[in-house]
A and B are shown apart, each in its own frame.
Chain A
């Protein structure tokens, strides 16, 4: 069914440049995926640089990886996977018209995001105390060579950029949870929830790759 776009329809969330909600939904989904493709390439530049140096200094990168807190990295992966689950449940709930469940799941997902950042801050603090910050009292135990430093530069850069994404994600999740609580969304109209969900899953995927890249290099 094609709804003619008139002023009355705007209240349902239909923007005026579109003919109907399905068209708007298609545009929003496609736009989000194009944006995520952009993000893939942005992180991809870092992964590429990292891999080039890892190919050059395989041993030093193992040594660098040894300095990291593997269990915090693994634990954080579990936290993010769980929060991804809750976002997926939230989208699922709103599709079935359950506003309350959707709001609750979004808030839980955001809370798990905060847990992630909390663990990450603890890890960062420990790292700094051990002198792993390349531009501030850099003195890692054992091998203190240029290549180990390069590893740590990328560690900070990649996890830092990821943490920025997590922070933005938490804000978005809470914002849309609030709108959802106010009853803005229903089975018909819930584009923004789906979009923020896609973004959050993407942030999760980046971490899924950061785990083996940074934490799981050195066997044993």
Chain B
């Protein structure tokens, strides 16, 4: 890792040019191609989920909801939530970036179980198609949370089909997690000890732990909902002795940790980007590494903060509230360490770095407002208001989508062998940042003032802030649309990428862009820590 290989580019025998036949993609066991398959699939889902959001924001331009009826609005926010959570955010960084980069980062030929890896993409796609079928046939109106007894006894929409789709795609995320855990444990190249691993791998490892331990509970919960809906068993029906709150326990045992499935990989990306673009070794490597594991562990002990006003006992609510504060500690450790890494670094503001900085700021806001919600008394006031919406969009969109975009731009040259136009990259990063804040900051205020979530109409005094929010959403939409255009453009017209365009550390940069089918000409060895930027000779201008 001390010496950089001569810049290679446009290798004749890379994984893309190996075979152009469609079947060579659909039957591929190459982790890189599977990553690309995921990229295409989740981009389609992102557009659909975005479309639903656009319609909702347009509808909220006026207090009486001029565009759609209440029932349609309910289906729109359900569609938006289901697609964005399970078919975009959960697989975004792990399944796209992770699949592509993990074996490269550890100097392996592939993941441990390539066939399972392909299977997981198929499960994901089938699950997605099943869920989409439900939406096309008439949609679901339960919200992405499927709360009982509404979902089991009253909703007249395609709950069963949607739940089945989510369950199927859940098995795909279990397989992805399983693959990463085993790959990271058993397939590291010689010399790559745990404490030399890039921090992205630590965070992905923690994510995988959550995936394999939380997702099965979601699967069995949805199975119970489906069974109850079909057979009327009364499992969650208070009229039949069941307890709807039990559903919430089981659901949030998955869905709170799922928040960390969605944010931890983004944190890993930020650790890569911050070091590379400030040319410094990371501050507090082991703190960042272990904070990922701590988040994965403690993240499982806090789910009850979603149920403070749902009827759980006061005593358990008290425990959940306290435990929720504990998760803030490892998250804060990460933010402090990134900031310390930036300190006195020679920072360059390339597109990926802009996204990383955006992540840190927005995630911090999302995290701090999360503390409001974890407080028992405060939560009663803002529960189920736009405050909650704004909070988790700062985490998921401001955090994770930023992280995903940063990762996509950072590794795009490696994935495609092409550079994207830098000016457009920076321009859209700024656009997204501005659009995002204009969309969601007003929602904090709206929620604090008492505007409830999930209504297609609202009191007239909230209109100004809602118009601001919709205006922001339009800017945000432009910001997302631009990368779609210039990244596709770059596939054909972008300048060829060097093997290591960012002069980054990490094994993935030591092979050609794009990499050959088996990643490396010879198995690499590692003899130093990750992020040894201080030991790296910087070649002249990039």
A adjacent to B, CB under 8 Å:
yes
A146 at the interface (CB under 8 A from B): yes
| Chain B residues positioned under 8 Å from A18 (CB to CB) | 112, 187
Report A141-165 CB contacts with B as 1/0, cut-off 8 Å: 0000111011001000100000000
A52 to B249, CA, bound (A): 11
Judged by a CB distance under 8 angstroms, whether A209 is at the interface is no
Knowing A23-B186, A134-B233, the reply to whether A146 touches B216 (Cβ < 8 A) is no
A38 with B174: CB separation less than 8 A: yes
Complex: A61 Cα to B217 Cα, angstroms: 23
Contact B216 A41 (CB under 8 A): yes
Q: Per-residue CB proximity of B225-258 to A under 8 Å, as 1/0?
A: 0010001111100001111001001100100000
Q: Which 10 A-B pairs have the closest CB atoms?
A: A146-B241, A42-B216, A45-B220, A17-B110, A135-B231, A41-B216, A27-B186, A45-B217, A27-B112, A31-B182
A34:B242 contact, CB within 8 angstroms = no
Q: Determine the distance from Cα of A212 to Cα of B20 in the docked complex, in whole angstroms.
A: 58
A26 touching B214 by the CB < 8 A rule?
A: no
B window 243-288: CB within 8 A of A: 243, 246, 249-250, 253
Q: Give the docked Cα–Cα distance between A35 and B185 (Å).
A: 15
Please indicate the chain B residues that have their CB under 8 angstroms from the CB of A52 in the complex.
Answer: 243, 246, 249
- Beyond the given A17-B111, A35-B212, A48-B250, could you list 7 further A-B residue pairs with CB under 8 A, ordered by the A residue number? A27-B185, A31-B178, A31-B182, A35-B178, A38-B178, A57-B241, A149-B240
Instruction: Give Cα distance in the complex from A145 to B239, angstroms.
Output: 12
Q: Is the CB of B234 within 8 A of A42?
A: no
Asked whether B221 is an interface residue with its Cβ less than 8 Å from the other chain, the reply is: yes
Within 8 A of B (CB), among A66-90: none
Smallest Cβ distance from B341 to chain A, in angstroms? 32
A49's partner among B114, B187, B213, B246 (CB-CB below 8 A) is B246
CB distance from B80 to the nearest CB of A (A): 27
Q: Does A171 contact B (CB under 8 A)?
A: no
Contact A157 B227 (CB under 8 A): yes
CB of A168 within 8 Å of the partner chain: no
Chain A nearest CB: distance from B513 CB in Å? 22
Give B85-125 interface residues, CB cut-off 8 Å to A.
108-114
Give CA–CA (A6, B321) in the complex, Å: 56
Assuming the A-B contacts A27-B112, A153-B233, A153-B235, are A49 and B250 also in contact, with contact meaning beta carbons closer than 8 angstroms in the complex? yes
Q: Chain A, 1-42, contact with B by CB distance < 8 Å: what is the 0/1 string?
A: 000000000000001111100010011001100110111011
B interface residues (Cβ-Cβ under 8 A, vs A): 108-114, 174, 177-179, 181-183, 185-187, 212-217, 219-221, 224, 227, 231-235, 240-243, 246, 249-250, 253, 523
Chain B residues with Cβ below 8 Å from A48 are 249-250
A118 at the interface (CB under 8 A from B): no
Q: Which residues of chain B come closer than 8 Å to A37, judged between CB atoms? A: 212-213
B113 pairs with A31, CB closer than 8 A: yes
Q: Of all chain B residues, which has the CB nearest A31?
A: B182
Does A46 make an interface contact (CB < 8 A)? Answer: yes
Taking the nearest CB of chain A, how far is it from the CB of B468, in angstroms? 42
Chain B residues near A38 (CB-CB < 8 A)? 174, 178, 212-213, 215-216
Pick 29 A–B contacts, CB within 8 A, sort by A. Answer: A17-B108, A17-B110, A17-B112, A23-B187, A26-B186, A27-B185, A30-B181, A31-B112, A35-B212, A37-B213, A38-B174, A38-B216, A39-B216, A41-B214, A41-B217, A42-B217, A42-B220, A43-B220, A45-B216, A52-B246, A53-B242, A134-B231, A134-B233, A146-B240, A147-B241, A149-B241, A150-B241, A153-B233, A153-B234
Which of B179, B212, B234, B250 meets A45, CB within 8 Å? Answer: B250
A35 to B243, CA, bound (A): 30
Is A149 a contact of B234 with CB atoms below 8 Å? Answer: yes
CA gap between A17 and B111 in the complex, in Å:
7
Which chain A residue lies CB-closest to B214?
A41
Tell me the A residues contacting B by CB distance below 8 Å: 15-19, 23, 26-27, 30-31, 34-35, 37-39, 41-46, 48-49, 52-53, 56-57, 134-135, 145-147, 149-150, 153, 157
* CA–CA, A35 and B178, complex, Å: 7
Main secondary structure of the interface of A (DSSP, over half): helix
Minimum C-beta distance from B442 to chain A (A): 39
B232 CB, nearest partner CB in chain A, Å: 7
- Cβ–Cβ < 8 Å partners of B109 in chain A: 16-17
Q: Contact between B232 and A135 (Cβ–Cβ < 8 Å)?
A: yes
Residues of A within 8 Å of B220, CB to CB, are 42-43, 45-46
Alpha-carbon distance A31/B112, docked complex (angstroms): 9
Question: Which of B108, B112, B185 counts the most chain A CB atoms within 10 A?
Answer: B112
Residues of A within 8 A of B249 (CB): 48, 52
Contacts of A150 in B (CB 8 A): 234-235, 240-242
Contact across chains for A17 and B187 when beta carbons are under 8 A apart? yes
Residues of B within 8 A of A145 (CB): 241
Give the residues in chain A near B186, CB-CB below 8 Å. 23, 26-27, 30
Q: Are B217 and A44 in contact (CB under 8 A)?
A: yes
**A15 CB contacts on chain B under 8 angstroms:** 114
A27 to B109, CA, bound (A): 14
| Complex CA distance for A162 and B183, rounded to whole angstroms | 30
Known: A27-B186, A49-B235. A34 touches B241 (CB 8 A): no
**Within the assembled complex, what's the spacing in Å between the Cα atoms of A27 and B181?**
10
| A-chain residues with CB within 8 Å of residue B183 when the two chains form the complex | 27
Taking the nearest CB of chain B, how far is it from the CB of A58, in angstroms? 13
A34→B212 contact, CB < 8 A: yes
Residues in B with CB closer than 8 Å to A46 are: 220, 224
Question: Which residues of the other chain, A, contact B233 by a CB distance below 8 angstroms?
Answer: 134-135, 149, 153
Inter-chain CA distance A48–B241, complex, in Å, is 16
What residues of A have a CB within 8 angstroms of the CB of B235 in the complex? 49, 150, 153
Closest A residue to B112 using CB positions: A27
Q: Which residues of B contact A49 (CB under 8 A)?
A: 224, 235, 246, 250
Q: What residue in chain A is nearest B523 (Cβ atoms)?
A: A19
CB-CB nearest in chain B for A153: B233
Give the docked Cα–Cα distance between A19 and B113 (Å). Answer: 14
Closest approach, in angstroms, between the C-beta of A35 and any C-beta of chain B?
6
A residues in contact with B110, CB < 8 Å:
16-17
CA distance A17 to B219 in the complex (A): 31
